[in-house]
Amino acid sequence: MGTVTLPRVVPAPSGKPVRAGSKETQGRVRRIAQDPASWTKEAAAASAARFDTLSELWDEERAAYRPAPLADALARGGPLPAGTCVELGSGTGVLTPLLLERWPETICVDLSAGMLRKARAGLLVRADSARLPIASDRAAVVVLGDTPLFAAEVVRILQRDGVVIWANALGVDAPHFLPTDVLLVAFERATSRRWDAVESDALWGHWVVLRPQ
**# chain residues binding ligand SAM, by CB under 6 A:** 24
Longest dimension (CA), the chain: 43
What lies within 8 Å, CB to CB, of 46 at 6+ separation is none
3-state secondary structure 66-118: CHHHHHHHHHHCCCCCCCCEEEECCCCCCCHHHHHHHCCCEEEEECCHHHHHH
Q: Is 173 in the site for ligand SAM (CB under 6 A)?
A: no
Q: Which is nearer to ligand SAM, 26 or 112 (CB)?
A: 112
Per-residue x/- track, 60-89, ligand SAM (CB under 6 A): ------x---------------------xx
Would you count residue 183 as binding ligand SAM (CB under 6 A)?
A: no
- The answer to the question of residue 130 lying near ligand SAM (CB under 6 A) is yes
Q: What is the DSSP letter of 193?
A: S
Residue from 145, 162, 205, 212 in contact with ligand SAM (CB under 6 A): 145
Of 138 and 176, which CB lies nearer to ligand SAM in the complex structure?
A: 176
Q: Please answer whether residues 212 and 160 qualify as being in contact, where contact means their C-beta atoms are separated by less than 8 angstroms.
A: yes
Contact positions toward ligand SAM, by CB under 6 A? Answer: 44, 47, 51, 66, 88-91, 94-95, 109-112, 115, 128-130, 145-148, 169, 176
